[in-house]
């Protein structure tokens, strides 16, 4: 590990030499006979978090260059989105990944080993004093101490990414941030002092910056760019599915520009911060809270520092535990504290409040899936909040099925060639479904099989819903399964946040959500099947009459009143298939989203259901059109903020995507800027 | 009609009848329907007096205006058309060529009339049964898969074939052996020996067994094709020759014998012309390993399929004779089956020199 950074560590030579492994690993030295306790004691030393993580970077998602590149992008984007949403701003994010040559010209993206990542947002900006610690101090942040739903949780992410860059390329993190049009933009170059876990400021100055507000982070890291599963491209695509309120521009290392327009114009409701629920804490935590509380009485502490504990309930708990409600919290320890803890766990307490959660919402999920994935059927389900270990959470699931009407047409054309023996019927069933997982709106790209979501998908009996599934495998078919878990504390299986742990309560909620999606899919498939068979029933007779009459004519040696026989048979066919009545039935009941809530059905004739409304994105458009007047831009931004707060008042910014299918390709792109490379991003699916 | 000079044959007339079914039904506004006799175990009966498996009376209706049957109906009419074409041109052809002849894409669609040969084969059998016309009469032939050698003279297409002068290879039995195609001019043999496998037939032919025992040697290389069965039947009928059957000692061997003797379930309608109720089972019997001292190690363990099939045979009405029940049960209890080839364990010529002579001498066969 150290070998990697050896040649490039000139700027941080001082700090890293001190942290060389021999010196920093006192426990590694095995005591030989003759070493005295004093000598041993002299070797004991404090380990700083940063030192620990430089040696254990895989814990944070930097195990290999490819994953490291993704993790860096992910941390920066997560931070940007969290900041925008907390400030109530509709996020406009620009992600730029460039290959960097090691001294020479940059090699092609697929061979490069160094990348410069730049993530720019239009968020609230960061005040000058906070910039260095946020980007160059591990475990520094606003999110750890609050029980509130956010993408980041511990305050490790972005500083760890910066530290990784520093370790592998020696380059500092560059930050530009501006809090408003009237404030100046600040430029910083920071590094982390891995020994002290403190930021080192290499440069700071005021600069001119074209954006009126926002933050830009640039870091140079060692990495590898490769498309496909768990790539940066996939991350970007999946992010936009779960965050349709984000406008994202992705400049790929290959020089492409992918514009992913905003399709949902509401900033997610800002989640409230809550106090811990008594069921969710452990004894040690309780002891610490008893020490730290500002309350003077035990009952006051219980009622004040926990959610869902009323003063009345607090007294009851104290009584049951055999403690005085008037006791000083600091005096409760040892056996008494243990009794208190046991009593709390056995007392019936209301479930925690759920306004601390901000689920994506069925409409937004639908909108995201519909935009990014081609299909014939979309549906979304939000479960009511539930609780595991005192932490409230919400499960949401979505599903996109089919290949979309364009593909259907293509298939139609392909079939025009007469099929040879053995060519017939190559069904959809060989392709397996794709599962996309999210925790607090962040896509999870690694360790799929260790995740509660994936296991629940496997455990769902998809065969009940008209989808084939082999034993112990994913369901087969052109299908994307979306599952999101929103919680104040998502139980990840590791620090790198890749898989959700399997709590029974969580698995149960996921399964329920998936079943609901499955039921709707089943209803859709059955309905489509019915319409199809009704249609083919009619076709069968029409087609076969031709053949039968011709054959009969030949059998009779060509001396048959062909037209007459045909007419007689056709008349009978019409009668048999219900005549015009069937026509009506076909037209009316052939398909249609009735009875299928929160679903979209796409057919070659049009789109039905809750088709997402298109937004005319004023500020974004102005920016994209290039250099709008700064003051005007600012006004626009303000306005969008107001819109978000007013919630649901689009002020004429949305317009319908239109019912016609071609609306998907024309109406949906309001401004020219959105047109670049869009079909490509939408076409991603499956194989990945 | 007047313009036609050619006479319409009886089979052709039957095929045109299919078209008439459609035309008549259409005239009367009825659903065109063909009544096709059911060809399955549930619709065959064993006539003990005649010793034949016969087709029952149950018929299934194949209607055009029924979504499930429309395609099959259409295909049946198409096949009838193709068969009629053969009649008119006086040609014979194979099942596979019928399939290719009737395959095309239906007008204004992407659908093929037929996708595989598996679809057209049963339709030909359906027509055979429905129209009471044999496959040979429909001018459809199978591969020549049988051989014959022995003291008999045949006339095929005007060519005289002396089966005693055809070396080791013998004469390849054509699939259509009706008297109008193949004449049995002369036969001096005493009996017919029908052998399951080509290997043993070759052995017997090479050893000139037919000369030493004055018999006709026939083989069908496995389940004997129609031509072989029909020829054996004709030798039996016309020359009054007894027929002995030599097969492997396993359930499939027993079944081959029973098909030769009583007819098959699938083609029960042809038993009348194919089956030889007096045919005898000469071997390999489950008693032979002991009688002829075959070592146990040349046997093969019965697998699950064999056992299941043997138990099925025990249930067939035509295997209810006491001798047969003991024969099959003996095999089941030994748990072993024996191939004819296993006789070579004793001597390459054991079959010719010891086994068959002793069998014939002791009249050791099952009826």
Do A65 and A40 lie in a common domain? no
The confidence score (pLDDT) of residue A374 equals 86
The reply to whether A586 falls in a domain is: no
Chain A residues touching residue B115 (CB < 8 angstroms): 419, 421, 424
> Does A541 sit within 8 Å of B23, measured CB to CB?
no
Q: Mean pLDDT, to the nearest integer, of A15-37?
A: 53
* B192/B218 Cα distance (integer angstroms): 7
Identify the DSSP state of A123: S
Of A500, A526, A552, the last residue of a domain is A526
Is A216 in contact with A117 (CB distance < 8 Å)?
no
Residue of A414, A422, A555 to mutate when probing chain B, most B C-beta within 10 A: A555
| Chain length of chain B | 367
Two tokens at A338? Answer: 């243990």
Is A490 in contact with A440 (CB distance < 8 Å)?
yes
Helix (H) or strand (E) holding A436: strand A434-439
The reply to whether A547 falls in a domain is: no
Two tokens at B250? Answer: 């396993």
The reply to whether A131 falls in a domain is: yes
CATH for A187: 3.30.565.10
Give the residue among A159, A70, A65 at the shortest CA–CA distance from A113. A65
The reply to whether A603 falls in a domain is: no
Q: Which residues of B touch A (CB under 8 A)?
A: 4, 15-16, 18-19, 22-23, 26-27, 29, 31-32, 64-65, 67, 70-71, 73-74, 77-78, 80-81, 84-85, 104-113, 115-116
Residue A306 has pLDDT above 60, yes or no: yes
Residue B160 has pLDDT above 90, yes or no: yes
Tens-digit pLDDT profile for residues A103-120: 778 888 888 899 999 999
Q: What is the DSSP string of A457-473?
A: HHHS-GGGGT--B-TTS
The confidence score (pLDDT) of residue A426 equals 55
User: Which residues neighbour B320 within 8 Å (Cβ) at sequence distance 6 or greater?
Assistant: none
* A68/B266 Cα distance (integer angstroms): 68
Question: Which residue in the list B100, B171, B255, B338 is annotated as catalytic?
Answer: B100
Residue B5 has pLDDT above 70, yes or no: no
Residue B140 has pLDDT above 60, yes or no: yes
Q: Which of A544, A555, A568 sits opposite B70 (nearest CB)?
A: A544
Is B27 in contact with A568 (CB distance < 8 Å)?
yes
The confidence score (pLDDT) of residue A253 equals 92
| Distance in Å, alpha carbon of B179 to nearest chain A alpha carbon | 28
Tens-digit pLDDT profile for residues A130-173: 899 888 887 777 666 666 777 776 667 888 888 899 888 989 99
Strand partners, A221: A115
Q: Which CATH number fits domain B146-362: 1.20.1250.20, 3.40.1360.10, 2.60.120.260, 3.40.50.720?
A: 3.40.1360.10
Tens-digit pLDDT profile for residues A316-352: 898 888 888 888 888 888 888 888 898 988 888 888 8
Report residue B189's pLDDT band, with 50, 70 and 90 as the boundaries.
very high
Is B246 in contact with B339 (CB distance < 8 Å)?
no
The confidence score (pLDDT) of residue A425 equals 56
| Chain length of chain A | 688
Share of chain A above pLDDT 90, in %: 26
The confidence score (pLDDT) of residue A273 equals 80
Residue A51 has pLDDT above 50, yes or no: yes
The reply to whether A654 falls in a domain is: yes
Tens-digit pLDDT profile for residues A194-236: 888 889 999 999 999 998 999 999 999 999 999 888 899 999 9
> Does A565 sit within 8 Å of B26, measured CB to CB?
yes
Chain A residues touching residue B70 (CB < 8 angstroms): 540-541, 544
Strand partners, B193: B217, B244
Report residue B204's pLDDT band, with 50, 70 and 90 as the boundaries.
very high
The reply to whether A539 falls in a domain is: no
Chain B residues touching residue A424 (CB < 8 angstroms): 112, 115
Chain A residues touching residue B31 (CB < 8 angstroms): 572
The confidence score (pLDDT) of residue A525 equals 87
Does residue A192 sit in helix, strand or coil? strand
Mean pLDDT of chain B: 89
CB proximity under 8 Å: A 422-461 to B: 422, 424
Fold of domain B10-31+66-141: Arc Repressor Mutant, subunit A (1.10.10)
Chain B residues touching residue A560 (CB < 8 angstroms): 19, 23
Of A479, A494, A526, the last residue of a domain is A526
User: Which residues neighbour B326 within 8 Å (Cβ) at sequence distance 6 or greater?
Assistant: none
The reply to whether A101 falls in a domain is: yes
Do A157 and A246 lie in a common domain? yes
Count of the separate structural domains present in chain A = 5
* B33/B21 Cα distance (integer angstroms): 7
Q: From residue A107, give the alpha-carbon distance in Å to each of A72, A196, A386.
A: 20, 36, 50
Residue B247 has pLDDT above 80, yes or no: yes
Residue of A413, A547, A565 to mutate when probing chain B, most B C-beta within 10 A: A547
The reply to whether A265 falls in a domain is: no
CATH for A317: 1.10.8.50
Q: Mean pLDDT, to the nearest integer, of A354-378?
A: 87
Task: Tell me the residue range of the domain where A628 lies.
Answer: 614-683
Report residue B75's pLDDT band, with 50, 70 and 90 as the boundaries.
very high
Q: Mean pLDDT, to the nearest integer, of A574-602?
A: 59
Which of A194-198, A617-621, A648-652 has maximum average pLDDT? Answer: A194-198
**Matching residue, tokens 């019409």:** A574
CA B321 to chain centre: 23
The ipTM value here is 0.77
Residue of B20, B22, B73 to mutate when probing chain A, most A C-beta within 10 A: B22
* A546/B329 Cα distance (integer angstroms): 57
Q: Cβ of A314: how many Cβ atoms within 10 Å? A: 20
Domain ranges of chain B: 10-31+66-141, 146-362
**B99 tagged catalytic:** no
| Distance in Å, alpha carbon of A529 to nearest chain B alpha carbon | 15
Q: Which of A418, A540, A571 sits opposite B71 (nearest CB)?
A: A540
Q: Between A273 and B254, whose confidence is greater?
A: B254
Q: From residue A73, give the alpha-carbon distance in Å to each of A168, A223, A260, A467.
A: 16, 11, 16, 36
Give the residue among A240, A121, A305 at the shortest CA–CA distance from A674. A240
Does residue A171 sit in helix, strand or coil? coil
> Does B18 sit within 8 Å of A418, measured CB to CB?
no
Long-range contacts of B11-14 (CB under 8 A, 24+ apart): B11/B87, B11/B131, B11/B133, B11/B137, B11/B138, B12/B84, B12/B87, B12/B88, B14/B131, B14/B132, B14/B133
Share of chain A above pLDDT 70, in %: 75
Residue B289 has pLDDT above 60, yes or no: yes
Strand partners, B194: B218, B245
The confidence score (pLDDT) of residue A673 equals 37
CB distance from A414 to chain B under 8 Å? Answer: no
């Amino acid at each position: 590990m150290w070998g990697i950074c050896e040649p490039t560590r000139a700027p941080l030579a001082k700090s890293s030499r001190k942290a060389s492994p021999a010196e920093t690993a006192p426990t590694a030295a095995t005591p030989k006979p003759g070493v005295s306790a004093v000598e041993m004691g002299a070797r004991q030393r404090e380990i700083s978090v940063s030192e620990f993580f430089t040696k254990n970077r895989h814990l944070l998602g930097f195990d290999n260059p490819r994953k490291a590149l993704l993790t860096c992008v992910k941390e920066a984007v997560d931070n940007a989105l969290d900041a925008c949403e907390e400030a109530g701003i509709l996020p406009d994010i620009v992600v730029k990944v460039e290959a960097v040559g090691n001294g020479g010209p940059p090699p092609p993206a697929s061979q490069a080993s160094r990348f410069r990542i730049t993530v720019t947002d239009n968020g609230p900006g960061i005040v000058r004093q906070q910039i260095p610690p946020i980007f160059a101090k591990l475990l520094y942040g606003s999110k750890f101490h609050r029980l509130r739903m956010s993408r980041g949780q511990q305050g490790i992410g972005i500083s760890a990414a910066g530290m990784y860059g520093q370790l592998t390329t020696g380059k500092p993190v560059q930050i530009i941030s501006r809090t408003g049009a009237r404030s100046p933009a600040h430029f910083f170059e920071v590094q982390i002092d891995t020994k002290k876990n403190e930021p080192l400021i290499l440069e700071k100055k005021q600069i001119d910056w074209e954006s009126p507000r926002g933050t830009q982070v640039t870091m140079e890291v060692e990495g590898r760019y490769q498309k496909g599963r768990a790539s940066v491209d996939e991350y970007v695509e999946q992010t936009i599915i779960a965050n349709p309120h984000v406008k994202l521009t992705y400049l790929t290392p290959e020089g492409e520009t992918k514009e992913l327009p905003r399709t949902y114009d509401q900033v997610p409701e800002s989640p409230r911060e809550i106090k811990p629920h008594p069921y969710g804490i452990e004894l040690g935590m309780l002891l610490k809270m008893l020490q730290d509380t500002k309350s003077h009485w035990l009952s006051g502490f219980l009622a004040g520092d926990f959610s869902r504990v009323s003063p009345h309930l607090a007294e009851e708990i104290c009584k049951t535990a055999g403690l005085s409600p008037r006791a000083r919290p600091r005096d409760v320890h040892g056996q008494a504290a243990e009794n208190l803890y046991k009593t709390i766990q056995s007392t019936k307490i209301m479930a925690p409040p759920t306004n601390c959660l901000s689920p994506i919402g069925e409409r937004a999920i639908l909108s995201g899936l519909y935009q990014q994935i081609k299909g014939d059927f979309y549906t979304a389900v939000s479960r009511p909040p539930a609780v595991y270990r005192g932490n409230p959470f919400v499960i949401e699931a979505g599903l996109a099925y089919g290949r979309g009407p364009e593909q259907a047409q293509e298939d139609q054309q392909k079939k025009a060639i007469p099929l040879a023996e053995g060519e017939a019927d190559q069904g959809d069933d060989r392709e397996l479904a794709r599962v996309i997982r999210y925790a607090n709106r962040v896509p999870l790209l690694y360790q799929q099989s260790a995740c509660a979501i994936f296991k629940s998908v496997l455990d769902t009996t998809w065969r009940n819903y008209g989808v084939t599934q082999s034993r112990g495998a994913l369901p087969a078919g052109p299908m994307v399964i979306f599952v999101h878990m929103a919680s104040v504390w998502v139980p990840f299986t590791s620090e790198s946040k890749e898989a959700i742990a399997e709590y029974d309560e969580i698995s149960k909620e996921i399964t329920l959500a998936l079943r609901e999606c499955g039921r709707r899919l089943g209803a859709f498939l059955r309905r489509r099947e019915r319409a199809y068979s009704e249609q083919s029933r009619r076709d069968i007779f029409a087609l076969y009459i031709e053949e039968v009459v011709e054959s009969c004519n030949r059998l009779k040696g060509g001396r048959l009143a062909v037209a007459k026989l045909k007419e007689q048979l056709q008349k009978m066919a019409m009668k048999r298939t219900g005549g015009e009545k069937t026509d009506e039935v076909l037209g009316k009941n052939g398909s249609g989203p009735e009875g299928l809530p929160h679903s979209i059905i796409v057919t070659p004739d049009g789109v039905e259901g809750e088709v997402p409304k298109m937004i005319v994105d004023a500020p974004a458009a102005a920016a994209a059109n290039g250099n709008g007047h700064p003051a005007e831009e600012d006004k626009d931004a303000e306005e969008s903020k107001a819109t978000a707060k007013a919630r649901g008042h689009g002020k004429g910014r949305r317009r319908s995507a239109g019912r016609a299918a071609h609306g998907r390709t024309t109406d949906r792109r309001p401004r020219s800027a959105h047109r670049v490379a869009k079909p490509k991003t939408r076409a991603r699916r499956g194989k990945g | 009609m007047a313009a036609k000079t050619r006479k319409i044959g009886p089979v052709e007339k039957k095929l045109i009848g299919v078209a008439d079914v459609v035309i008549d039904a259409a005239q009367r506004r009825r659903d065109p329907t063909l009544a096709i006799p059911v060809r399955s175990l549930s619709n065959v009966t064993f006539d003990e007096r005649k010793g034949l498996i016969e087709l029952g009376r149950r018929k299934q209706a194949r209607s055009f205006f029924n979504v499930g049957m429309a395609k099959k109906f259409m295909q049946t009419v198409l096949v009838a058309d193709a068969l009629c074409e053969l009649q008119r041109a006086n040609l014979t052809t194979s099942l596979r060529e019928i399939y290719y002849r009737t395959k095309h894409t239906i007008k204004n669609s992407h659908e093929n009339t037929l996708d595989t040969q598996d679809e057209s084969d049963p339709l030909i059998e359906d027509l055979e049964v429905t129209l009471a016309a044999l496959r040979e009469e429909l001018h459809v032939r199978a591969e020549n898969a049988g051989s014959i050698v022995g003291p008999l003279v045949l006339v095929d297409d005007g060519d005289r074939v002396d089966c005693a002068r055809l070396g080791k290879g013998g004469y390849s039995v054509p699939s259509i052996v009706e008297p109008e195609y193949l004449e049995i001019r002369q036969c001096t043999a005493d009996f017919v020996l029908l052998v399951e496998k080509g290997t043993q037939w070759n052995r017997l032919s090479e050893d000139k067994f037919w000369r030493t025992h004055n018999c006709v040697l026939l083989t069908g290389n496995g389940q004997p094709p129609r031509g072989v069965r029909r020829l054996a039947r004709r030798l039996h009928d016309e020359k009054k020759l007894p027929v002995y059957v030599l097969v492997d000692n396993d359930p499939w061997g027993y079944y081959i014998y029973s098909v030769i003797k009583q007819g098959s379930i699938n083609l029960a309608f042809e038993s009348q012309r194919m089956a030889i109720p007096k045919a005898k089972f000469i071997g390999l019997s489950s008693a032979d390993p002991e009688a002829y001292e075959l070592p146990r190690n040349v046997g093969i363990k019965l697998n699950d399929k064999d056992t299941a099939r043997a138990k099925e045979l025990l249930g067939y009405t035509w295997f209810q004779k006491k001798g047969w029940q003991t024969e099959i049960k003996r095999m089941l209890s030994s748990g072993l089956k024996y191939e004819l080839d296993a006789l070579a364990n004793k001597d390459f010529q054991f079959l010719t020199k010891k086994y068959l002579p002793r069998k014939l001498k002791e009249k050791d066969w099952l009826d």
